[in-house]
Each structure stands twice: as C-alpha cells, then as structure tokens.
A and B are shown apart, each in its own frame.
Chain A
Amino acid sequence: MTTQEFQHTALRGSMDPSSGVTTLTLAMPGRANVINAEFGDGLREALAWARTHDDLKGIILTSSHRDFCAGADIDRLFAMTDPAELYQGVKELGALFRDIETSSVPVVAALNGTALGGGLELALACHHRVAIDTPRTKFGLPEVQLGVIPGAGGTQRLPRLIGIQAATELILQGKELRCAPALKAGVIDALVEGEDELRAHALAFIANNPRAKQPWDQKSPRIPGPQPGSGDARNMLMAAAGMLRKKTAGVFRAPELALSAISEGLAVDLDTGLDIEARYFVELAVSDSCKDMIRTLWYGRSAALKCEGLPIHEGPPFKKVAIIGAGMMGAGLAFVCADAGYEVVLKDVHEEALEKARAHFESQLKRRRKHLSRPERDAIFARLTLTLEPGPLRDSDLVIEAVFENLGLKHAINEELEPLLAEDGVWASNTSALPIFDVGAKSQAPQSFIGLHFFSPVEQMPLLEIITTANTSDAALARCLAFCQRIKKLPVVVNDGYGFYTTRVFSAYIMEGANLVAEGHDPVLIEWAARAAGMVVPPLQVFDEVTLTLGVKANEQGRNYLGDAVDSPGMDLVRALVAEGRTGKADGAGFYNYEGGKRRGLWDKLATHASSSGADTLDVPALQRRLLLAQAVQAVRCLEGGILRSARDGDVAAVFGIGFAPQTGGPFGWLDRQDLTEVIAELDALSSACDERFAAPELLREMAAEGRRFFDTPRAG
C-alpha cells in the first residue's frame, strides 16, 4: 500500500497523484540542511518510498530552509579520523547520489537558496538545476578552503558538465558564484522568480524530459571544451598545476589533489572517477591540515564573527562616525563606514589630504558600480562630510583617531575633540602599537576609550583587533563589536600592551626576515622559505610595503616600552638601508628593486650589509623554522602575558590579520602539531645562539612538561 506522505527527521516527502511527481523537501532540524549520515539515511528511504508509486513521473528535491543545503556536516568531518570508516561513508553517499541520477524518472533540484559543497554536489547528481534568483544565493564547491576536496562527486560531475577549465577554476579556488554567473557558467540550468515559478519550472522539465539522462551516462559522452586526454586538455591541466604552484608555493595540498582527481577521473568512467575522488578526499579529510584549517578558519572564525563570550550591545547603534586623519587608513575607513550606512565625518588639517581622501572614496565607489545602482552610490557619497574644522564632529557616536604615531599629537587631538562626542560616545585610536592606556592618558572618559586596530588596505583586510584597557567598559566594547559586525570585519578582542598582539607577531616576522639577511643568509632563500612555510607574504617583500622608515620609527618608539630588546642585527641592517635611501616600495628601493612600482628582484647588494659572512648558511627548512618560531614565541608570550584572551583568538588574528600560514591553523595550531619538548630544546639552542627573542616562554615549558596542547584537535593515528 503506498502513501501520499513521507516523514523522516532529515526530510519529508509528498506525492502529487495528479502529476505523478514526488517532492522531497530537505528539512533537517536546526537552521540548515547538512550532508551527514542522517541526511543519507533519510534520502535513501525517501527515494525508496517515492519508487513505491507505480505512477511516479519525476522527483523534485528542494528545501524547507532558507538555503538549499550549505554542504557537509563540519562537526562530523572535523571529528572523523578513521580513513576506513570515512571511505565507507563516502562510498555510500556516492552510491546514493548515483542512484538518484540513474533513476528511471527525471530528478530536478529546485534550488530555493544557496547550494554549496555537498549541497551543490547533490544538485549536480540531479538531471536539472533550477534556482530562485536572489541576490544572496550562492553556488560553489568551497571545500579546498578547509583543506579538503569535494567528496560527493563534485570533482567528477562538474568538469563533465561545464568543461575542464571552468570546473578547475571553481574547484581549485573554492570560488562561490552568485545566480547570474552560475547560470552563465552552466553550474545551474535556469533561474526563476519565486517559489511558484520554481515548482512550475521543475514540473515542466519533468513533463518534457521523461527519459532524462545525465550527459555522462549517454552512449558516447562528450564534455564542453577540450576532451579528456586531448593535447589541449593536457596543456590546460599542466598550466593549472603551474599557476596553482605559483600562487600557493605548494603549501596547500587540497587544490593540488583536486586537480589530480579531476585529471585522473576524466580518464575513466564516472563510477571509477568517483572512487578516485573518494580516495583523495579521505586522504585529505583525515590530514592535520584539514583539521587545523577547520578549527581556525571555520570554528574560530565563526566564533569571532558571532562575538562568542563577548558583551552584547542592546542599545541604539552608532549613527555618526568621525574619523580624524585623512591618510590612507582614514580615507579607507571613511569609505568602509559610509558603505556600511554610517554618517561619516572625515577631518584633517590639510586640504590636500581631504582631496586625496575624496578621490579615494570616489574610486572605491566606482569599483562598486557592478553591485550598486547610481542612487545607491550617491547615497553612500552623501553620507560623507569632509572637514578641516572641528564643528561637524559634534555629536559623533564614535571617533576613530587615525593620525600618525605620535603620542603628544594623539593626546592633543583627544583633549581638543573629546568634548564633541555624543553622550556615551566612544573614542577609539587606530594606533598600531602604542598602548591604549597611554594614548588615552588625557581622556576625561577612560571607560569609553578603546583601541580599534584596522589593517591596510582596510577595504580588503578582514580583521579588526580591538584593544581594551582595564578602564574600558563592557558597554563601550559591546558598542564597538556591534559596529564591527556592521562593517563586516572579523573582531578579535585583546588586552592592552605595547604592540598588542598582531603588531608584536608581525614585527617578529619581518624583523626575523631582516635578522636572517643580516646574518648573511641568502635573501632569495629567506623569501622562498616563508612562502613554502605558508606565509601569505614573504617578510622582506612586506617589510618594503610597510616601509623600512616605519620600521625604524617603530623601533625608536618601542624602546620606550621594551628597552634594549628592540636592538638586533636586523634593525642595524634596516637602518643602514634607510640611510642609503632604500626605504621601501613607495620610494622605489628597499630590500627589493622596483621599476614603476613593480618588484624587480631582491637588491643584489644586500649581502654587503650582512654583519656575518653566512658561512653556515641555513637551508630552507631551517629558515622556515626560524621565521615561524620567531612569531610563535611572540604569540605564546601574548597568551601567557594576558594580552590574548585565548589561543583561538591568537590563531584567528594571526591568520586573518597578518597572513600566518593558514594550513597550520595559526601559530598555536602550528605548535600543537609538534613535540613541544623538542621545540623547547630548539628554542634554548636558538636563544643562546641568537638572542632573547627566542627565549622559551614559561607557559610553553609547562605545557611541554605536562604534555599539554593548546587545542583538543582530532588527529588521525
């Protein structure tokens, strides 16, 4: 006896006898549908139920949630450490998806919202994909961003559907497409307006394609673009390998193995291809990198975005934000704030600075042309006020002081303009190093004084390091967190101290680069070692970008707080370069040579500035250790000194703020992978050979002695 309704915890089914079409609606408990064992069971049972109807003409798959399905159950993926168990699970899911597409009836994915990862892979195993056109809907296979590859057929079906080049780009970069580009790329087949049209379109497809078959299940399957095995396909894959390495320096295994899975899978039939994919998937999913990336880039990031464990602001939001200092940072901030809907006043004492800021603002607006209409852009521009006078600052809810790093100047500005703040308004300094307590020494409202450390270029950099002093009130912090969420930055809250967290770790990084040069090591190897260790930007390159002059200034300023600890052979080298006029990229010469603003190789006379001959030249692995250890030691000191609230914050801030090797999950994750006893021995050796900067923090010694780790991360045996 067949029924018209089906119910499972993961989804519900209903049969419309008039059309013979069964609708399976994913409706997993919670806010979203995820791919896991429960989902698999539900879908399997639902398919079996649907097939009990003799008059079944077709199946529509859709969702009761806002999204269609956002992908794998990350919790399960994170916990999984047994390759055999994982392989079996992947194979079962693969067989289920295969069962869907080899059904005797057409199956349509009616995508009411976003389909990512396993969600899109499910849709790719349907005969037709129709989606509701909304601005927030996205499609993609972002798996590589968490150190893994698509494991439910994505690397096999997508290239067969849209061609090798387009699929390789999407999968290797983990790119997400909005509706129109997804349609253009062929990832989806049709876009419609609203639920009714979605259903009507799906029903029409079923009616018109009673014998729907996947392209790869046709007799002599062809794929768009170059055919597998052709010279063109081969060259394309080779170029993809080259360009990937160029970008990633071989640090990320996931996109590399994704390319292998695509290439090898296309040489065989789909079923064999799915098995090839499954084996690469399993290898990656149980790897340390995958676990570490999930921990930081998924759990750590989402916790930070949700401001977990931080005070919540319930009062009225900021309306008016004043920014003082129209330099690069001030101008960028003005745009970010106006774009987020704030009324913005940008003040400077120089007319030209304001003019430059206006030009910057306009060029940023121009770049948004594709996404914003003229009136929308005009509205953003209308929210900006440029001023030389203090008057327009009156009643600002938030003042962000972004003038250059001079304590006296910062005090004077604070004293002059603080009275203009609205009641309970917050005064923030965007200093990148000076202790907030000192910057706020003259403030009449220390409870509302805070540090907001943005990163440059502020339009692109995701992190906001928020610094609270002992005086900063929870209310002020909460209001800033709400502000941070509205401007879509990732907040990490730290306690006060010279250099806070990110600046201390970042300085340790670039200074270690300079130290290694000063010791006579090959600068080409130093830069490569950093990249091969996973650092997003090599130290000498980024030193040139922040300017060597800034390094010298910061060093002088740092002496007030850190004493002689700021002296190093690297600093002597940087001073010598500045004295020769090699101040960095902006002036056309630093560690590198430049032509028309483009890097033209490292300066070949750097070796002449080395204080020692470099007789014991370190090899790449040794250089990598130095560059990462210098940062990790600083990170641990920040944790034991109470600047960091947690190791998790430290990892998130290092990865998103300064581009610390993402595949390690951050400096704490990197330490966690190692035998700490050996690390301590290494640090002891380094601190006697180099200097105090490598002195092992007590916390690390304790952890080594007790066999403790910073995180409880699942590890494969």
Chain B
Amino acid sequence: MSMLIFLEFSEEINMPAAMIYDAVRTPRGKGKKGGALHGVRPVDLLATSLRAVADRNELDTSRVDDVVIGCVTQAGEQGACIARFGALTAGYDQRASGVTINRFCASGLEAINQGAAMVASGFYNLVVSGGVESMSRVPMGSDGGAIWDPQTQWEVGSVPQGVSADLLATVHGFDRAEADAFAVESQRRAASASEHGRFDRSVIPVVDRSGLPILSEDEYPRPGTTTDALAKLAPSFEMMGRQFGMDALTKGRYPHIDRISHIHHAGNSSGIVDGSAAVLLGSEEFGAAHGLKPRARIRSFACCGSEPVIMLDGPLPATQKALAHAGMSIKDIDLFEVNEAFAAVPMTFMKHFDVSPDRVNVHGGAIAMGHPLGATGAMLLGTLLDAMEDNDASTGLVTLCIGGGMGVTTIIERT
C-alpha cells in the first residue's frame, strides 16, 4: 500500500525556451571542522561559482536580470539574502539583483526552475541560478522552523528525515545489503568519473585571496569502499527511531508497518559537505545576440507535494508531472540524476519507474560525493549535462526528494 496519490498530469505545457548556457560548481569539502572548505565564508563559496560562470562566458553582468540562489539554512552567515551579497562579492554589476530561496534539498534545482520560468515568461533575458551551503559553518537545522513544534507533530506529522528514509526502504522492501551495494556502486562510479576527468569541465577550484588552491576536487569520496566495510557501520537512525519514539510517530500514517528496518547509515546516506554551484540561463534570442552557445534547453519542470511523514518519495509524482508537461514518457529519458539523499530514494525511483541502474547517477552521487543541501540541485544539473555530453545522450532528468514531503524534477534536452 503506497501512500502516494498519483494525480493525472496529462496537460502538455508549451513553454517558451529557456536555454542552459553553462554550469559550474565548486568541489565539495567535508562539512565539518577540519573540512577543506570550513575556513571559507559561505558568501565566498557562492562567489567562487558566480565569478566562474561570469568569467568563462565573458558576461556583462549588468545584463543579468537576477541571481536566484538556493540555500536551505538561511541563518547566521547564510542569512540575510546571501544571493545578493554573493553576487556583489563576485564583482557582479550592482544592477544584477539577487534572491535567495529555500525548497529544502531541492533549492538549487528550484533556483534553476524559477530562473527558467523567469526567462520563459519573456520578462527576463539572463538569469544566473545556483545554490550554496556551507554545512560545516551553518549546521543543518540551525534555522529552526515549525517542523520542531510539538503542535506540528500532532497536526501535520513529521519525523527526522533518516527515519523517513528507513520507512521508505521498509515500505518498498529494500534491505541493508541492497542499500549497501548501491552505496558501493555510487563510490565506484564517482571514483571512475573523477579518474577519467568527467568533472573537469564543471569543477572550479576554490582558491584563497592570493589565488592559492584551497580545494580542487571533491574531498568526500572514499574510493574502494566495499560492502564488507559498510556492513560494519551501525544504523544511524535506529536509536532515535526505537528508543526515542520516532518510529511510533509514523505509525498513525503507516499502521501496516509493524517494524521499521533501520537500514541507513553514514555509508549509504548522503554526506554532509560544503559547496556551491551556478548555472547560466537565458533566452535563445539573448544568447544568439550575445555570442552564447546553449548546451541544452529546459524541456519541462515540476514540483509536487507528497505525504510528509515518509517525506522522500516526492520525486515520483514530480517526475510524472514533469514528464506530462513535456509530453514525454519515462522511456524517452536517456540519463537520470536522482539525488542520493539516502540509498532508498534512487532505489525507490528505479523500482517505481522500472529504470535501469545503468542510466541513473552514472557518475556517482551524493552518497559518494556529498549533498551540500542548497547547492545540490544545481550541481546535479551540471553533472547530468556533463554526462549527457560525454555519452552523447539527448535527454536527461534530474530530481530530488525534499523535506516536508515534496519533489522537484527538471527535464533537459541537448540542443
């Protein structure tokens, strides 16, 4: 019994073109004290990507209509509209305004979709979208929120995300061994992609004020991870689930689940990391007039809410909706990026849509490389684009699960 309620998304939407001209990202540093990027201010982290996308496309930043930045934990150093200060720090013209948005883990992709919508509307010509998250400096959850209120618990229902992930795995019948095998493959793919230079086109080293390198490649992966090694890790959410009653908080919605299998742990869940990304979006006409060559177009996008306790199956309805908007079926998609927030998320996606693992997260994912919350969506779009170019694929789909029970999906097409 799935709690997903599938709507009929039959309406094809004819959206004016929004083109993707470029995508860059920083490497991801371990999101803790001692991580390579821990000494970097979040605003500098964001400026690194913004500067790179402007420089290498020789942008006249006075023509940037908006800088739309996803950032989840908008508190402390990431508070007070980091998009605006990131753009100014990067040396953008003061006319390039900035807006910071939060759609939890899909914020970076949401920034792209909102940027694309602005362009497609015809009101905007050029938008820089992206995301930033310094999880080492602004810890997850430090922005508070209604999710912590007991009253929200009684009226809405919400459990820590890891418990949702374990519930998702239980509902879909995934066991620990399958999840660990998935994680090992993510590590293998990431290592191989890195070794073969698959990320070279997108990754921008983070440097200090003298131009000296701080971090040039992803710091988080553990190449050579084996299932035996993962088997030794203790489940991360079992204690909060069983002892602190979090499992009990899911029972009202999932009464048929007798016992949640706590299969997720540090090795098969996404890593906590620091990083940023930026994507250059614009109209076809503006690009042609200014010598920009599009790498792909946004074919469609969608977001959709889902049941908030299991929380993490939003990619399913969001993907159905985006496919319907594009007038496509799942078979029309060549390559996928499904955020590896927890192993069960892409596993559920593949099972539900019957998609071969060969076409999903071909360069590894957040289990190997980490998930800098607000930036990940924008990073995945770039990774997808690189993979499509490497494999000469024409269509690609990127989707992320989201706190509170939502999903965002974007479908792109190479030009």
Contact = CB atoms under 8 A, between A and B. Distances in A.
B173 interface: no
B252 A263 contact: no
Contact of B245 (A234, A246, A525): A246
Given A241-B245, A242-B246, A250-B252, A264 B151 contact: yes
A242 B248 contact: yes
B249 interface: yes
A385 interface: no
Nearest to A250: B252
Interface string A508-532: 0000000000000010110011001
Contact of A528 (B142, B245, B251): B251
Interface residue SS majority, chain A:
helix
A241 B255 contact: no
Contacts of A245: 245, 248-249, 251-252
Given A264-B151, A532-B255, A620-B255, A239 B249 contact: no
A224 interface: no
A237 B150 contact: yes
Given A229-B144, A242-B245, A246-B248, A260 B255 contact: no
Given A242-B249, A528-B251, A522 B256 contact: yes
B62 interface: no
What 9 A-B pairs come out closest when comparing CB atoms? A242-B245, A246-B248, A246-B245, A243-B245, A239-B244, A528-B255, A259-B150, A260-B151, A245-B248
Given A239-B244, A245-B245, A246-B248, A525 B154 contact: no
B252 A231 contact: no
A245 B257 CA distance: 16
A482 interface: no
Contacts of B246: 238, 242
Interface in B97-151: 141-142, 144, 148-151
B151 A601 contact: no
A522 B141 CA distance: 38
Interface residues of B, number: 25
B259 interface: yes
Given A242-B248, A243-B244, A263 B150 contact: yes
Interface in A519-548: 522, 524-525, 528-529, 532
26 contacts: A231-B141, A231-B142, A238-B153, A238-B244, A239-B240, A240-B150, A242-B240, A242-B245, A242-B246, A242-B249, A243-B245, A244-B245, A245-B249, A245-B251, A246-B245, A247-B245, A250-B252, A259-B150, A260-B154, A263-B151, A264-B151, A524-B255, A524-B258, A528-B255, A601-B259, A602-B258
Contacts of A259: 150
Interface in A231-271: 231, 234, 237-247, 249-250, 256-257, 259-260, 263-264
Considering residues A238, A250, A601, A602, which has the most beta carbons from chain B within 10 angstroms of its beta carbon?
A238
Contacts of B153: 238, 241
A240 B240 CA distance: 11
B137 to A, nearest CB: 16
B330 to A, nearest CB: 31
Considering residues B141, B160, B240, B249, which has the most beta carbons from chain A within 10 angstroms of its beta carbon?
B249
B125 to A, nearest CB: 44
Contacts of A528: 251, 255
Interface string A608-642: 00000000000010000000000000000000000
A331 B159 CA distance: 46
Contacts of B244: 238-239, 242-243
Contact of A256 (B154, B159, B255): B154
Nearest to A231: B141
Contacts of B240: 239, 242
A67 to B, nearest CB: 32
A333 to B, nearest CB: 36
Interface string A583-615: 000000000000000000110000000000000
Nearest to B251: A528
Given A244-B245, A532-B252, 11 more contacts: A238-B160, A238-B246, A240-B150, A241-B245, A242-B247, A245-B245, A246-B248, A257-B154, A524-B255, A524-B256, A525-B255
A237 B245 CA distance: 12
